[in-house]
Amino acid sequence: TGCDGVVVGRGCLGRPWLFRDLVSVFEGRAERARPALREVASVMRRHAELLGQWMGEERGVTDFRKHVAWYTKGFSVGSEMRRGLAMVGDLAELDDLLAGLHLDQPWPVGADGPRGRTAGGKKVVLPDGWLDDPECATPPTDAELDHSGG
Protein backbone atom coordinates (compact mmCIF):
# COMPACT_ATOMS: atom_id res chain seq x y z
CA THR A 1 0.00 0.00 0.00
CA GLY A 2 2.97 2.32 0.44
CA CYS A 3 1.86 3.09 3.98
CA ASP A 4 4.77 4.20 6.18
CA GLY A 5 3.02 3.50 9.46
CA VAL A 6 -0.18 2.94 11.33
CA VAL A 7 -1.28 4.85 14.40
CA VAL A 8 -2.67 2.49 17.01
CA GLY A 9 -2.48 4.82 20.00
CA ARG A 10 -5.15 4.62 22.64
CA GLY A 11 -6.90 1.74 20.90
CA CYS A 12 -4.52 -0.73 22.51
CA LEU A 13 -5.07 0.55 26.06
CA GLY A 14 -6.69 -2.23 28.03
CA ARG A 15 -6.55 -4.57 25.06
CA PRO A 16 -2.94 -5.24 24.10
CA TRP A 17 -4.10 -8.22 22.01
CA LEU A 18 -4.95 -5.58 19.41
CA PHE A 19 -1.39 -6.09 18.17
CA ARG A 20 -2.22 -9.78 17.56
CA ASP A 21 -5.24 -8.59 15.56
CA LEU A 22 -3.04 -6.24 13.52
CA VAL A 23 -0.67 -9.09 12.64
CA SER A 24 -3.68 -11.10 11.44
CA VAL A 25 -4.91 -8.21 9.30
CA PHE A 26 -1.47 -7.60 7.77
CA GLU A 27 -1.23 -11.32 6.97
CA GLY A 28 -4.65 -11.27 5.30
CA ARG A 29 -6.47 -13.24 8.00
CA ALA A 30 -9.83 -12.16 9.41
CA GLU A 31 -9.66 -13.75 12.88
CA ARG A 32 -9.46 -11.46 15.87
CA ALA A 33 -8.47 -12.10 19.47
CA ARG A 34 -11.42 -12.49 21.81
CA PRO A 35 -9.83 -13.38 25.15
CA ALA A 36 -11.94 -14.74 27.98
CA LEU A 37 -11.68 -12.96 31.32
CA ARG A 38 -9.06 -15.51 32.44
CA GLU A 39 -6.59 -14.25 29.79
CA VAL A 40 -7.54 -10.63 30.44
CA ALA A 41 -6.87 -11.09 34.17
CA SER A 42 -3.51 -12.68 33.39
CA VAL A 43 -2.58 -9.73 31.16
CA MET A 44 -3.74 -7.29 33.85
CA ARG A 45 -1.50 -8.99 36.41
CA ARG A 46 1.50 -8.98 34.05
CA HIS A 47 0.88 -5.33 33.17
CA ALA A 48 0.87 -4.33 36.84
CA GLU A 49 3.94 -6.47 37.52
CA LEU A 50 5.93 -4.90 34.67
CA LEU A 51 4.97 -1.40 35.77
CA GLY A 52 6.10 -2.33 39.27
CA GLN A 53 9.46 -3.53 37.99
CA TRP A 54 9.92 -0.31 36.05
CA MET A 55 8.58 2.27 38.53
CA GLY A 56 8.63 0.46 41.84
CA GLU A 57 5.64 -1.56 43.02
CA GLU A 58 3.68 1.20 44.73
CA ARG A 59 3.96 3.68 41.87
CA GLY A 60 3.55 0.99 39.21
CA VAL A 61 0.37 -0.41 40.76
CA THR A 62 -0.98 3.12 41.19
CA ASP A 63 -0.30 3.79 37.50
CA PHE A 64 -1.89 0.47 36.54
CA ARG A 65 -5.20 1.42 38.16
CA LYS A 66 -6.11 3.81 35.34
CA HIS A 67 -6.25 0.85 32.95
CA VAL A 68 -8.72 -1.23 34.98
CA ALA A 69 -11.87 0.17 33.35
CA TRP A 70 -10.50 -0.56 29.87
CA TYR A 71 -9.54 -4.13 30.78
CA THR A 72 -12.86 -4.94 32.44
CA LYS A 73 -15.17 -3.18 29.98
CA GLY A 74 -18.15 -5.36 29.19
CA PHE A 75 -17.26 -8.15 31.60
CA SER A 76 -19.61 -8.91 34.46
CA VAL A 77 -17.36 -8.04 37.39
CA GLY A 78 -19.65 -5.90 39.51
CA SER A 79 -19.22 -2.37 40.79
CA GLU A 80 -17.62 -3.42 44.08
CA MET A 81 -14.93 -5.43 42.28
CA ARG A 82 -14.33 -2.61 39.78
CA ARG A 83 -13.94 -0.18 42.65
CA GLY A 84 -11.54 -2.53 44.43
CA LEU A 85 -9.43 -3.01 41.30
CA ALA A 86 -9.40 0.74 40.68
CA MET A 87 -8.10 1.33 44.22
CA VAL A 88 -5.66 -1.61 44.43
CA GLY A 89 -2.54 -0.82 46.48
CA ASP A 90 -0.07 -3.62 45.72
CA LEU A 91 0.41 -6.80 43.72
CA ALA A 92 -0.71 -9.08 46.55
CA GLU A 93 -4.02 -7.22 46.79
CA LEU A 94 -4.37 -7.36 43.01
CA ASP A 95 -3.83 -11.14 43.14
CA ASP A 96 -6.56 -11.47 45.78
CA LEU A 97 -9.00 -9.40 43.75
CA LEU A 98 -8.28 -11.19 40.47
CA ALA A 99 -8.80 -14.53 42.23
CA GLY A 100 -12.34 -13.38 43.07
CA LEU A 101 -13.34 -12.90 39.42
CA HIS A 102 -15.47 -15.40 37.50
CA LEU A 103 -12.68 -16.09 35.01
CA ASP A 104 -14.63 -18.32 32.61
CA GLN A 105 -16.56 -15.39 31.14
CA PRO A 106 -16.17 -15.19 27.36
CA TRP A 107 -15.27 -11.98 25.56
CA PRO A 108 -18.27 -9.63 25.98
CA VAL A 109 -20.23 -8.82 22.85
CA GLY A 110 -20.26 -5.05 23.48
CA ALA A 111 -16.55 -4.75 24.25
CA ASP A 112 -15.64 -4.01 20.63
CA GLY A 113 -17.76 -0.88 20.43
CA PRO A 114 -16.53 2.69 20.40
CA ARG A 115 -14.26 3.77 23.22
CA GLY A 116 -13.81 7.17 24.75
CA ARG A 117 -15.92 10.13 23.73
CA THR A 118 -18.58 9.23 21.21
CA ALA A 119 -20.82 12.29 21.42
CA GLY A 120 -19.42 13.70 18.21
CA GLY A 121 -16.55 15.87 17.16
CA LYS A 122 -15.58 19.18 18.61
CA LYS A 123 -15.83 22.38 16.63
CA VAL A 124 -12.43 23.58 15.46
CA VAL A 125 -11.84 27.26 16.17
CA LEU A 126 -8.99 29.09 14.45
CA PRO A 127 -7.74 32.57 15.31
CA ASP A 128 -8.89 35.42 13.07
CA GLY A 129 -6.73 35.61 9.97
CA TRP A 130 -5.25 32.11 10.40
CA LEU A 131 -6.27 31.01 6.89
CA ASP A 132 -5.82 34.38 5.13
CA ASP A 133 -2.49 33.37 3.58
CA PRO A 134 -1.89 29.60 3.43
CA GLU A 135 1.73 30.19 2.31
CA CYS A 136 2.61 32.32 5.34
CA ALA A 137 4.54 30.37 8.02
CA THR A 138 4.05 33.06 10.67
CA PRO A 139 0.87 32.70 12.73
CA PRO A 140 -1.28 35.79 13.26
CA THR A 141 -0.04 37.79 16.26
CA ASP A 142 -3.25 37.37 18.26
CA ALA A 143 -3.08 33.58 17.98
CA GLU A 144 -0.42 33.35 20.68
CA LEU A 145 -2.36 35.53 23.09
CA ASP A 146 -5.65 33.69 22.61
CA HIS A 147 -4.41 30.12 22.94
CA SER A 148 -1.27 29.87 25.06
CA GLY A 149 -2.31 31.55 28.26
CA GLY A 150 -0.79 34.89 27.25
Domain extents in the chain: 35-107
pTM above 0.75, yes or no: no
CA angle 80, 86, 91 (to 5 degrees): 110
pLDDT by residue for the chain (150 residues), tens only, comes to 666 666 677 777 878 888 888 889 889 998 888 999 999 999 999 999 999 999 999 999 999 999 999 999 999 999 999 999 999 999 999 999 999 999 999 999 877 766 666 666 777 777 777 778 878 777 666 555 555 554
What is the number of other CB atoms lying within 10 angstroms of the CB of residue 100?
A: 13
Burial 13-51 (b: 16+ CB within 10 A, else e): bbbbbeeebeeeeeeeeeeeeebebeebbebbeebbbeb
Domain 35-107 sits in CATH at 1.10.1200.80
